[in-house]
Structure 1
Amino acid sequence: MSFVEYSDLIQDGDVAIVYLSHTSALPVKVRQGGQTQTRYGVLRHSSDLIGRRYGSKVTCSRGGWVHVLHPTAELWTCSLPHRTQILYTPDIATITMMLELKPGAVVCESGTGSGSLSHAILRSVAPSGHLHTVEFHQQRAEKVMEEFKEHRVDHLVTVRTQDVCRDGFGVRGVADAVFLDIPSPWEAVQHAKDALRTRAA
């Protein structure tokens, strides 16, 4: 399972999205012998999840049921643990369209935060593009790196912990697009310009 590739069956080690209702979804790290408590009862990973098809309707221990879905950027946005205020799907769709993202593109992002936009960017540039993302806060950067690895997209992203206004993105002349989600974006404009690829006239 990867957030940028599709697989039919739920496997040990996957991150699955347990869809409880149209307002509630829960990301679950599937583990042999693991259990997840929901409002409808317990989901036993070994018997209820592993080996089933993504999209399956699964009955919990108290008789209620849930759907177990393959993770997507949109489902991650709906279910991720918030460490910062996040961007949601309507804004993300506009941003990815305006940046003209496509497979193979290189993107610089500042203000990684909870990684909501980052996941959508990664899906847009996969399988051969790359995201360079900068997060000022050390703990948030470490957590999002951990999630990228767990979601099997870490080969598509480089996370740096630094002040983009002072230190830039750590790359020059490689980016097809830059997105700044920081309090004072005007202070990083020169660094954004430096990161962008030089286009032939």
Structure 2
Amino acid sequence: MSFVEYSDLIQDGDVAIVYLGHESMMPVKVQQGGQTQTRYGVIRHSTDLIGHRYGSKVTCSKGGWVYVLHPTPELWTVTLPHRTQILYTTDIATITMMLELKPGSVVCESGTGSGSLSHAILRSIAPTGHLHTVEFHQQRAEKVAEEFKEHRVDQLVTVRNQDVCKEGFGVSGVADAVFLDIPSPWEAVRHAKTAMKKQGGRVCSFSPCIEQVQRTCEALADQGFEEISTLEVLLRVHDVRTVTMPLPDFGPDPSAPTQPEKTPPNQQASVALKTTTPPREIPGHTGYLTFATKPRT
């Protein structure tokens, strides 16, 4: 099992995702002789998981059943242990697209946090790219490094425990893209420029407050970045419902040989239509995404 490659069979040491029902999932470290307790009963790793195919339906000891899924960055995002606030798939998809990530890309990231975005980046740049990620907090840096090894992507990532605003990313002239998710990203813009290749590249900064965005944009402009833009990704769900509308009555047809009787209003023909209703409010602000391009020199 690897978060960037697909395996057919569940093996000892894998991290599998147990699907318990709608919006209810949990990660499980598969171990020979291990057991996992669920509300449907016990899952015995040796007999119920190891050697079975991912996607299998597993019957628990109480007779209930679950599905065992192959881990992906999206599933990890909704099941990972939170050590910090994390980015979710809606923002992650925009970030990976706007940073133009592809296999072979070299990316610098700060801060690593719980590793939600990191796993999506690793899948985008595998198998030949590399992620240099910086985390200020020592225990979080050590824990995410353990998870990368457990998820078998550690060959694609280097974790550094340092202050990116003072010490930078630890590399120079190698990055195709840089991502910043720190309280004062404007203090790290010059280090982002140093880490990036001379032949251009993209940078993204995530900030929850517009005042942070303003200072970051000023710093990007001072460092010579171009195409500076800020956007906010909001999820807007439309409710689909069926409405019945009466067919219009245009009166009698003068060309008809006989005039039919007019249909009473309560018997008027109607048609059923599908329509969508937009929400009156759109809660869910996560943060502002500021993108910029390093000019080619």
- 1:182 and 1:88 mapped to 2: Cα distance? 16
The CA deviation at 1:40 is 0.8
- 1:67 and 1:17 mapped to 2: Cα distance? 8
Match of 2:147?
Answer: 147
Amino acid at match of 1:192: A
Matched, 1:78 2:78: yes
- 1:142 and 1:23 mapped to 2: Cα distance? 29
Cα deviations by residue, 1:86-114 (Å, 9 ceiling, x for unpaired): 00001000000010000000000001000
Match of 1:189?
Answer: 189
Match of 1:44?
Answer: 44
Matched, 1:169 2:169: yes
**Could you tell me the TM-score, scaled by structure 2's length?**
0.67
Match of 1:124?
Answer: 124
Name stretches of at least 5 consecutive residues in structure 1 with no aligned partner: none
Matched, 1:133 2:97: no
Match of 2:94?
Answer: 94
**Could you tell me the TM-score, scaled by structure 1's length?**
0.99
Count, aligned residues: 201
**Greater fraction helix:** 1
Match of 1:9?
Answer: 9
RMSD: 0.7
| Identity fraction in percent | 85
The one of the two structures with greater contact order (alpha-carbon pairs below 8 A, sep at least 6) is 1
- 2:86 and 2:65 mapped to 1: Cα distance? 29
**2:145 match: secondary structure:** helix
The CA deviation at 1:65 is 0.8
- 1:22 and 1:121 mapped to 2: Cα distance? 27
- 2:77 and 2:22 mapped to 1: Cα distance? 13
Cα deviations by residue, 1:171-197 (Å, 9 ceiling, x for unpaired): 000000000000000000000000001
- 1:83 and 1:38 mapped to 2: Cα distance? 23
Matched, 1:63 2:55: no
The CA deviation at 1:22 is 2.3
Cα deviations by residue, 1:27-79 (Å, 9 ceiling, x for unpaired): 11101100000111100000000011000011111111110000000000010
